[in-house]
Amino acid sequence: MTPQEEVERLIARVAMGDRAAFTKLYDRTSAKLFGVCLRVLNDRAEAEEVLQEVFVTVWNKADTYRVNGYSPMTWLITITRNRAVDRRRALKRPPEPIDTADLLPDGKPGPEASAVAASDARRITQCLDELPRARAHLVRRAYLDGDSYADLAEATGVNLNTIRTWLRRSLIALRECLSR
């Protein structure tokens, strides 16, 4: 059984109210999901609070995730990431600054990025590496750190509308690359 299949089987049993399966699911996935919370919130106590809410949701909603066509890990990661981002925004944490030197679009992926892309089977990283490095960085910040447009504008000192235009163009390019 692949890890993916195992998580899927555990969620199916959790949906039937199986507490032992819930404990196993927690043991199998909590370190990964806690890492996600910690990355967004950068605060152990807040991250644990969010992780607890996530698993309460998992216990209560395990029977519904399939309806929306999510794989089990995508479902768990998406709930966790979105809850952590909601929490971060409620706390109004200021964004980490982004060095403006990093933002000058050089038009090409750096040689480093290309080497990484060659050894990385993930479509998202391959396609991000086709973007100018600074633009790819903004997409990563938006997803992994949960920065809003306002956060990214504050972090870079770039005008809000410019940031949005950059992001949208990057997303269009990503979408095009992903569908190739």
Which residues contact another protein by CB under 8 A?
Answer: 19, 22-23, 26, 30-32, 34-36, 38-39, 44, 47-48, 51-52, 55-56, 59, 68-71, 73-74, 77-78, 81-82, 85, 122-125, 139-140, 142-144, 146, 148-150, 153-154, 160-161, 164-165, 167-169, 171-172, 174-175, 178
The least CB distance from residue 48 to another protein, in Å, is 5
- Unique residue bearing structure tokens 């040689």: 111
The least CB distance from residue 28 to another protein, in Å, is 11
The least CB distance from residue 51 to another protein, in Å, is 6
Residue whose CB is less far from another protein, 9 or 140: 140
The least CB distance from residue 109 to another protein, in Å, is 17
The least CB distance from residue 102 to another protein, in Å, is 17
Residue whose CB is less far from another protein, 19 or 108: 19
Compute the C-alpha angle 154/155/158, nearest 5°.
Answer: 65
Torsion from C-alpha of 40, 73, 76, 94, nearest 10 degrees: 10
Residue whose CB is less far from another protein, 74 or 100: 74
Residue whose CB is less far from another protein, 12 or 38: 38
